[in-house]
Amino acid sequence: MTDIVDPETRHRMMSGIRGKNTKIEVLVRKGLFAKGFRYRINDKKLPGKPDIILPKYKAVIFTHGCFWHGHDCHLFKWPSTRPEWWRSKIGGNRERDNHVRELLEKAGWRQCHVWECALKGKYRLDADNVIDELVKWLQGNSETLEIRGRTE
């Protein structure tokens, strides 16, 4: 299947996608702030520059876009144009994610990964429930947490 827009339009559309301050990330940050949590964002000193860092809890939170990280959910679909390039790109992102997980684990950081499908799409969860789950995890002693959309 060919692309439905010309290459120039596609380039403009793709270059408008940002890696910081995404809607999902801002929603999680606002929810945590409203619950009294204070954090730093995108600390370059930590592997992977986590989206949200809570030093008091020795915890980091990543908000992953399902497409860019190749998540196995309804929001991800392999592009039909330039498939080799996309498999390499998304595969590289996945490898980097795994490497960052290992580095943070060795450094003693607790990690949470909030997937885009948890807060967007037809199988999304209630945003307040997602924030409550994050709060419970932060106040508990579990090392990891993954929040994803419903599977139906």
Secondary structure (DSSP) of 81-105? SSHHHHHHHHHHHHHHHHHHHHHHH
Has residue 117 got a pLDDT over 70?
Answer: yes
Q: Tell me if residue 113 is catalytic.
A: no
The residue-averaged pLDDT of 103-119 equals: 97
Question: Which of 22, 43, 69, 74 is labelled catalytic?
Answer: 69
Q: What's the pLDDT score for residue 88?
A: 96
Q: Where are the domains of the chain?
A: 20-147
Of 63, 64, 71, 113, the catalytic one is: 63
Q: Is the whole-model pTM more than 0.75?
A: yes
Select the highest-mean-pLDDT range: 10-14, 67-71, 82-86, 136-140.
Answer: 136-140
The CATH number given to 20-147 is 3.40.960.10
In order of 89, 100, 148, the CA distances from 125 in angstroms are: 28, 26, 8
97 counts as catalytic: yes
Of 51, 64, 71, 113, catalytic: 51
pLDDT tens, position by position, 42-81: 999 999 999 999 999 999 999 999 999 999 999 999 988 8
Of the two residues 18 and 100, the one the predictor is more confident about is 100
Is 149 within 8 Å of 115 (Cβ atoms)?
Answer: yes
- What tokens does 108 get? 């003693």
Pairing of β 59-64 and β 144-147: unpaired
pLDDT class for 4, splitting at 50, 70, 90?
confident
- Choosing from 22, 43, 74, 97, the catalytic residue is 97
Instruction: Examine the residue annotation and report whether 51 is marked as an active-site residue of this protein.
Output: yes
What is the pLDDT averaged over residues 88-92? Answer: 96
Counting residues of the chain whose pLDDT is more than 90, the rounded percentage is: 81
